[in-house]
Structure 1
Amino acid sequence: MKKVWNENSSERYRASIHLAKKAALSSAQKDLGRKPDILDMIGRGPDWMEANIWNDLVKIHWNKEDHKIKCEIARQNKMTAKDGSTTKHTGGSISFGAHRERMKKDLGRDVDEFEVFERMHKRKQGTGEFVDSKSARVSEQYKERQNVDDQSTQPSFNLKSWCDVVGEPCKGRVYGFGRNQHFRRSYNGSSNEMYSHEKNKELSQEIEDMRAISKRMEEEITESKNKLELVIKENRKREEQLIEEGRQREENLKEMVRKMIQEVGYTNHLYPGGSSPRERRDKRNKD
């Protein structure tokens, strides 16, 4: 509530000061018969502001060189051609909100932002030609996005489509609506909603990517595990084969030794079928 109050108060104050300065300069030009300077506004302040405060604003603030430079830059920016012409409208000094209330009263129904835009940017109370090429282009592109041919089939105002056509706010102003507080709050709310939606999409995509990576890692781990188990199984099988081959060689060697002993005639208990060398020696000694 406080923020809304401050925004509205700031806008009202800015508009009131602008009208007061315009009236003071007009009065000075009429009295002096020439183009007035900033200091010529002294003593020509509005009734709702004390004279000493007004005069201090003129001398201390508005007459400063940096303020004059800012005003000149703003004037040049305002006169800068965009889309073939400077920004124009037929609304005069009446605010967007005031125009909307008048249209509601005249038409006996509620009106949306686009209807007010066309009223403020077309000649002959919104029934003639557009005042410049930019407003005509914006109107045409917005209708194309909304897929409508005329206002009789105009759907409710689509904030996102409008911002897609005119771009984001510049210094608190949205083309076609100025500093309209309701529009700015709606834009900010919509922007936050869209931002949150985009962030959610990004997070969802990141989660899906992480799941895909995790699944791929699990598959790689499973594949590596299967390969390792296969290698272990093959090594165990090879080890068993080597053990069996060693056992078989040992048996073959024993069999070969047994046959060799038989061939040389060893018959004792160690050499079945023959005599040991000691037995043969003892036998010779007896003979």
Structure 2
Amino acid sequence: MDRPMSQLEFFSVHNKNHELGDFVDKKSKRVHDTYKTAIESKYDTVRDNQPEFNPDSWIDAVNDPSKGHVYGFCPRQPASLVLCTLTSPRRSILAHDEEVNNLKSELAITRNTIDENNERIDDLTVCLEQVHKIEMQETVRSMLKELNIPNFQFPSNSGSRIDNT
């Protein structure tokens, strides 16, 4: 063959039961016939006038991607890669869906980071409150000492309940 194999030719080769000369299932035959009819009506029946692949016609023939994949292509190949030549609204919808999924993943990661940071803030707040309480006690203790007032409420760290020094 002097030219590249079209998607229709490729699909036919891989979805026919060569012993019987027919397609392996009804869906394969329906997709083949629907795509062939669409291509021939758009570009004529002469193969040289037809493109190797028309994504819009293929999607019409397979009834849109299912679960992010396109019938007739490798199941591990995302629809966005198969349809990369699309300029129709379908392409923008697929690209939008992929972008939405990426943003959902980023959002989940960001939420996790926020939760972790909130936990750290809570821990630091508890520590700061403890430090603030100790500083306040030391300030009151120092003021009572300067005024020579017995300290019954905030004893020194030595364990004595009265600090008359």
Normalised to the residue count of structure 2, the TM-score between the two structures is 0.45
Whose RCO is larger (CA < 8 A, sep 6+)? Answer: 2
Q: Which has the higher helix share?
A: 1
Larger Rg: 1
